[in-house]
Amino acid sequence: MPVGLSVDGALGYPSPSRPFRPSRYVPVSAATAFLVGASTLFLCFTCPWLAERFSSSIPLYNVVVFLFTLANFCMATFMDPGIFPRAEEDEDKEDDFRAPLYKTVEVRGIQVRMKWCSTCRFYRPPRCSHCSVCDNCVEEFDHHCPWVNNCIGRRNYRYFFLFLLSLTTHIMNVFGFSLLYILHHTKHLDQVDSGVTMAVMCVSGLFFVPVAGLTGFHIVLVARGRTTNEQVTGKFRGGVNPFTHGCLKNIAHVLCGSQAPRYLGRLRKPHSVEVQPPFLRPPLSEAQLEAKAVDNGIQQSKSSLEIMESQSTDADPPPPPKPEHRYPGMPHTQNEECSLLTEAPPTPSLYKYRPSYSSPGKNHTASTHSSKMSRGNSMTESPSVPVTTGQPSYRSDPSLSSRGGAGCRGGGEGGKAGSGGLGGASTFGGRSYPSFTDTLLQSAAASCSSSLRSAHTAHNALGPLISEGTTSTSYKSLANQTRNGSLSYESLLTHSESPEFESAAHELSPPRPHPPHSLSTAAGAPPISGYTSPFLSAQQREGSLQACPAPLRPSPNRAFLRPTSSPPSRAPPLSPRARSLGSPPPGPAPGHTPLGKSLSYAGGAELQHRPSSSGGGTPMQNSTIKQNVANHNTPSHKPVGGVKKVTGVGGTTYGISV
């Protein structure tokens, strides 16, 4: 069947064979039995009299409705809901161990988090979710329906919805006509026909209430452009749904959209094109030539860079990643909007950002498997970070913040715990991340500062838990982190996403030495009260935007490096600063376009490498070099004790005691 049958993903490669569980088939068998059985009995016992007594169009009508119901039921049951095939290994190499658990993208002006799926090995697109029953990521996941024993997703939601509508209609028909029959046979209730009709009436009456309820629920969902998952996890509670196009368009999209293609079970055509050297090369533009010249001074040649960056490296440390690399799922770094997503505030709020940091380290290569583990483990991290239950973060994760923290995929346990807290903070910060529809730069700036602020707030509440759910959560994780100083350090090291800010934030977690004044004043900044969804409404963002102290620039790493509390000025190259601080990072390669991407990248890789480079004396090699924002190392690597001041975006200054 061209539509793509996929029973339990049996036809699809992505679902490995699962043990046969007969209990899964009980509800669907019961539903089928009731539907077919009751309808057949009705058609056989009740309809003949109805045809005689009234008109033969009644049974015909009932047959049509029944067949329509059955057809939709079959489609909902057997159709592939939109299962994503598992990502292949080479795609995964881009998101290395230190890649963040979450990546943030802006969807129609609203920040949306994409979570890394450790089973399927990719960042789940917006509205995608992993079904634990089917063990697949499903596009536009609605829910897993036991009555059809299938996930309801993008491809079969229409059939499921029509099934509900037609089933409600069918039940009403059956009940109504059966009642009509009974009312005309009150004196012949002992007959078989009457008995059967009464039984059918009971069954239909019984099922009418839940089915009608579910139908009404889905009518509302369709009108609002939400999925069951989004509704149930409260993603848009108090927030704005970026996926809605208005009631009519939503309905049109469900009912009139073209049938989406299946991704599984497609014939993969082998490339018939032969690629053989020698290859042509496009003429280099002047700018490119210039960049190359500059690059050569700082890093390896462009070509080797490219190769190293694109590939997952085995032995040699890849050179500092170019900003474009770290991009998956995020807008360009070059654009203003990137800064929004890629910049991480220098305050502890960075933790919050970490999960939302989008660029997963493309190549970080190297390193350890810890990040990979942590990435997967982060899923289990949530229990450690309770709170946030109110916050439906993206998808099924109950706590945004914990996930956020978990975003830092690197590190071991402690790191994970810490990152959990951080993540929580990040999440929180992420929420307050302003969504901009107009000036991306402003928004970027605002987001940074707002996150900064929120982070700050979170951190300030270190002692007592903050009222905000997320902050408390992050706090708890931070507390966990603090208990194991080395762990926190480790987590700091392994945090992949945000650049220096995040690492700074980590370092700050144990003591919180110098909360930036600007932040503290801004701490009262619009709390995301009652906002549990990961989507920020424009208003909230606007609010934070206004409160934002200084416009942020896309060189957070630079600001970070600056060991003073002077306002972030984009300033001076990182390398000298880094060196002065005792760490070797080469700083962002001049050829690199900055920021966001490299930042996040740097954060991750750099952190991981921290332990390897002692005291910052060793030049960063490997992936750490890639992280141009090597300055992360600076704070964490500070060889001697004391407090190192780090300035982050927005003028926040942190004193990091090492």
Stretch that binds other proteins, among 142-150, 194-202, 307-315, 414-422 (CB under 8 A): 307-315
Question: Cβ of 279: how many Cβ atoms within 10 Å?
Answer: 6
Out of 24, 133, 198, 306, name the contact with other proteins by CB under 8 A: 306
Between the alpha carbon of residue 652 and those of residues 144, 462, 556, 562, 577, the distances in Å are: 46, 18, 11, 11, 17
Between the alpha carbon of residue 113 and those of residues 207, 389, 505, the distances in Å are: 38, 17, 21
Q: Which is nearer to other proteins, 73 or 654 (CB)?
A: 73
Cβ proximity of 241 and 535 under 8 Å: yes
Q: Which is nearer to other proteins, 79 or 504 (CB)?
A: 79
Q: Which is nearer to other proteins, 198 or 538 (CB)?
A: 538
Query: Rounded to the nearest whole angstrom, what is the least distance from the CB of residue 64 to other proteins in the complex?
Result: 10
- Near other proteins in 2-41, by CB under 8 A: 2-3
Cβ proximity of 432 and 525 under 8 Å: yes
* 127 near other proteins, judged by CB under 8 A: yes
Two tokens at 190? Answer: 């002992």
Query: Rounded to the nearest whole angstrom, what is the least distance from the CB of residue 104 to other proteins in the complex?
Result: 10
Cβ proximity of 397 and 325 under 8 Å: no
Q: Which residue do the tokens 């159709």 mark?
A: 79
Burial of 115 (0-12, 13-18, 19+ CB in 10 A): buried
Q: Which is nearer to other proteins, 198 or 251 (CB)?
A: 251
Name the active-site residue from 145, 338, 408, 548.
145
d(CA 73, CA 572): 65
Out of 16, 22, 270, 277, name the contact with other proteins by CB under 8 A: 277
Q: Which is nearer to other proteins, 557 or 647 (CB)?
A: 557
- Near other proteins in 379-398, by CB under 8 A: none
Q: Which residue do the tokens 């905000």 mark?
A: 468
Out of 66, 73, 84, 560, name the contact with other proteins by CB under 8 A: 84
* 94 near other proteins, judged by CB under 8 A: yes
Query: Rounded to the nearest whole angstrom, what is the least distance from the CB of residue 302 to other proteins in the complex?
Result: 6
Catalytic site includes residue 408: no
Out of 317, 319, 329, 404, name the contact with other proteins by CB under 8 A: 329
Between the alpha carbon of residue 647 and those of residues 22, 31, 165, 478, 555, the distances in Å are: 60, 63, 59, 21, 12
Two tokens at 591? Answer: 């050829």
* 316 near other proteins, judged by CB under 8 A: no
Dihedral over Cα of 618, 624, 627, 631: its sign: negative
* 257 near other proteins, judged by CB under 8 A: yes
Out of 25, 61, 208, 263, name the contact with other proteins by CB under 8 A: 263
Q: Which residue do the tokens 């099922």 mark?
A: 207
Nearest by Cα to 603 from 314, 355, 306: 355
* 68 near other proteins, judged by CB under 8 A: yes
Out of 52, 210, 271, 438, name the contact with other proteins by CB under 8 A: 271
Cβ proximity of 173 and 65 under 8 Å: yes
- Near other proteins in 157-216, by CB under 8 A: 158-159, 162
Query: Rounded to the nearest whole angstrom, what is the least distance from the CB of residue 326 to other proteins in the complex?
Result: 10
Strand partners, 83: 138
Stretch that binds other proteins, among 105-113, 200-208, 469-477, 611-619 (CB under 8 A): 105-113
Q: Which is nearer to other proteins, 95 or 413 (CB)?
A: 95
* 307 near other proteins, judged by CB under 8 A: yes
Stretch that binds other proteins, among 27-35, 242-250, 401-409, 554-562 (CB under 8 A): 242-250
Stretch that binds other proteins, among 154-162, 474-482, 490-498, 641-649 (CB under 8 A): 154-162
Out of 261, 511, 576, 615, name the contact with other proteins by CB under 8 A: 261
Query: Rounded to the nearest whole angstrom, what is the least distance from the CB of residue 116 to other proteins in the complex?
Result: 13
Q: What contacts 468, CB < 8 A, 6 or more positions away?
A: 428, 457, 458, 527, 528, 529
Out of 130, 143, 170, 325, name the contact with other proteins by CB under 8 A: 325
Give the distance, in angstroms, between the CA of residue 533 and the centroid of all CA atoms in the same chain: 12
Query: Rounded to the nearest whole angstrom, what is the least distance from the CB of residue 523 to other proteins in the complex?
Result: 31
* 121 near other proteins, judged by CB under 8 A: no
Stretch that binds other proteins, among 53-61, 65-73, 200-208, 380-388 (CB under 8 A): 65-73
d(CA 257, CA 8): 25
Residues in contact with other proteins, counted by CB under 8 A, come to a total of: 79
d(CA 523, CA 538): 20
Q: Which is nearer to other proteins, 302 or 570 (CB)?
A: 302
d(CA 542, CA 442): 10
Dihedral over Cα of 446, 447, 451, 454: its sign: positive
Instruction: Kindly give the pairing relationship between strand 129-131 and strand 136-138.
Output: antiparallel
Cβ proximity of 452 and 523 under 8 Å: no
Phi, psi values for residue 646, rounded to 5°: -125, 135
Q: What contacts 268, CB < 8 A, 6 or more positions away?
A: none
DSSP one-letter string for 310-357: HSPPSSSPPPPPPTTTS-TTS--SSSHHHHHHH---SSTHHHHHHHH-
* 43 near other proteins, judged by CB under 8 A: no
Out of 255, 290, 517, 580, name the contact with other proteins by CB under 8 A: 255
Out of 253, 389, 538, 619, name the contact with other proteins by CB under 8 A: 253
* 259 near other proteins, judged by CB under 8 A: yes
Query: Rounded to the nearest whole angstrom, what is the least distance from the CB of residue 409 to other proteins in the complex?
Result: 18
What is the SS3 assignment for 645?
A: strand
* 269 near other proteins, judged by CB under 8 A: yes
Stretch that binds other proteins, among 88-96, 179-187, 461-469, 574-582 (CB under 8 A): 88-96
Stretch that binds other proteins, among 100-108, 383-391, 423-431, 559-567 (CB under 8 A): 100-108
Q: What contacts 341, CB < 8 A, 6 or more positions away?
A: 104, 105, 106, 111, 330, 331, 356, 357, 358, 444, 596
* 284 near other proteins, judged by CB under 8 A: yes
Out of 52, 183, 187, 281, name the contact with other proteins by CB under 8 A: 281
* 331 near other proteins, judged by CB under 8 A: yes
DSSP one-letter string for 415-448: HHHHHHHHHHHHHHHHHH----SS-HHHHHHHHH
Stretch that binds other proteins, among 49-57, 319-327, 390-398, 496-504 (CB under 8 A): 319-327
Residues with catalytic function: 145
